[in-house]
Amino acid sequence: MTRQLLNPKESGNRTEGEQRTLPPFQETSSSRTTPVLRLNGLTVQIQQGRRITPIVGDASFTIHPGETLALVGESGSGKSVTAGAILGLLPPSMRVTAGQIVFQGEDIAPWPVKKRRILCGGRIGYVFQDYQGSFTPFIKIGKQMIETIRSHRRLSAKQAKAVALESLDQVGLPAERVFDSYPFQLSGGQLQRAALASTMVLRPAILIADEPTTALDVLTGERVLDVMDRLKRQTGCAVLFISHDLRLVLKRADSVAVMRGGSIVEWGRTNAIRDHARHPYTQMLLKARPSLSEIQAGLVREDEDELVVACKMGGSA
């Protein structure tokens, strides 16, 4: 029994009620699956005039198929830049200066732009916070989806339409109606689900979701994340879930990487981060947003000393 408890692999697999069996954290699982994505010491620098400043420094993490890794940080932490580097969509002033981006076993960082572009939107799917920007305003959703599909797959327009409709249906939208709609005719939640349908239709190996629900209402956001989880289970793709909200991702992710000032300060399995966060910054993020039951249980004290500290911090925050 003791031996079992000490062996994370076995005890991990024994957790019943978990719908997904997850590859154990970090390198222990490398024998079983090839990671979809592995960042190895990724460093991104920004050039402003003559000044060169690092904005992501030595970032490393691994995502396996079917796994959701959440990359959490506040504004300016470098999490979106990391996503941009993986997608090959960095603005011209930013450059990957060191490290590897290993996608399905191959380092894609040195690839030429053209080759990267085929990958991005195809094998590497993405949705962003700004769902308005996911579609061109004056072209119907369906037409845009067909265009996306046919630029990556050799399908007839008719076949592509069938695939698009099926995909819209899978995200719980009235497929025919949405297919014939302009983006402005849909609500924010519907648009974000249509964006998911549009990117998942190409069966990416990994989905990068950058703050996908931040611009949405709480309940609308929950529905979008439910759809994202379901698609992940159905297709077995990996998800890189980028968010500023640690509480939110604790409910959704298998592992969590916390970013601050361009560096990953802590990376671990979700349970470990939730219950035994080691880094003071992670602890602070958890404390900043207690769950309702923690508030209810009175675990959050209105500490006067703490307030004074908070006020003082305000001077530099």
Closer CB to another protein, 111 or 281, in the complex: 281
CB 232 within 8 A of CB 201: no
Residue with tokens 């297709």: 235
Q: According to the binding rule CB under 8 A, does residue 219 interact with another protein? A: yes
How near is the Cβ of 312 to another protein at its closest, in Å?
A: 7
Instruction: Report CA-CA distances (Å) from 6 to 3, 22, 256, 275.
Output: 5, 17, 22, 18
How near is the Cβ of 79 to another protein at its closest, in Å?
A: 12
Residue span binding another protein (CB under 8 A) among the ranges 31-39, 137-145, 202-210, 289-297: 289-297
Q: According to the binding rule CB under 8 A, does residue 220 interact with another protein? A: yes
Helix or strand run (H / E) with residue 143: helix 141-152
Closer CB to another protein, 11 or 283, in the complex: 283
CA distance 57 to 78: 9
Nearest by Cα to 97 from 60, 57, 48, 124: 57
Closer CB to another protein, 147 or 245, in the complex: 245
How near is the Cβ of 241 to another protein at its closest, in Å?
A: 16
CA distance 77 to 73: 6
Helix or strand run (H / E) with residue 207: strand 206-210
- Alpha helices by DSSP H, listed for 171-245, are 175-179, 188-200, 218-235
Q: According to the binding rule CB under 8 A, does residue 43 interact with another protein? A: no
Q: According to the binding rule CB under 8 A, does residue 74 interact with another protein? A: yes
Q: According to the binding rule CB under 8 A, does residue 301 interact with another protein? A: no
Closer CB to another protein, 230 or 251, in the complex: 251
Q: According to the binding rule CB under 8 A, does residue 300 interact with another protein? A: yes
Residue span binding another protein (CB under 8 A) among the ranges 50-58, 176-184, 229-237, 239-247: 239-247
How near is the Cβ of 296 to another protein at its closest, in Å?
A: 6
Residue span binding another protein (CB under 8 A) among the ranges 14-22, 40-48, 107-115, 217-225: 217-225
CA distance 71 to 64: 15
Instruction: Work out which of 1, 158, 293, 305 binds another protein, going by CB under 8 A.
Output: 293
CA distance 60 to 264: 8
Closer CB to another protein, 6 or 313, in the complex: 313
How near is the Cβ of 251 to another protein at its closest, in Å?
A: 8
Closer CB to another protein, 125 or 221, in the complex: 221
Q: According to the binding rule CB under 8 A, does residue 290 interact with another protein? A: yes
The count of chain residues that interact with another protein, using the rule CB under 8 A, is: 34
Q: According to the binding rule CB under 8 A, does residue 229 interact with another protein? A: no
| Residues in CB range of 19: below 8 A, 6 or more apart | 233
- Binning the chain into helix, strand and coil, the percentages to the nearest 5 are 45, 25, 35
CA distance 278 to 53: 28
Q: DSSP of 20-53, one letter per residue?
A: S--PPSGGGGTTT---SEEEEEEEEEEEETTEEE
Closer CB to another protein, 152 or 244, in the complex: 244
Q: According to the binding rule CB under 8 A, does residue 274 interact with another protein? A: no
Sites of contact with another protein (CB under 8 A): 74-75, 217-222, 244-246, 251, 284-285, 287-293, 295-296, 300, 302, 306-307, 310-315, 317
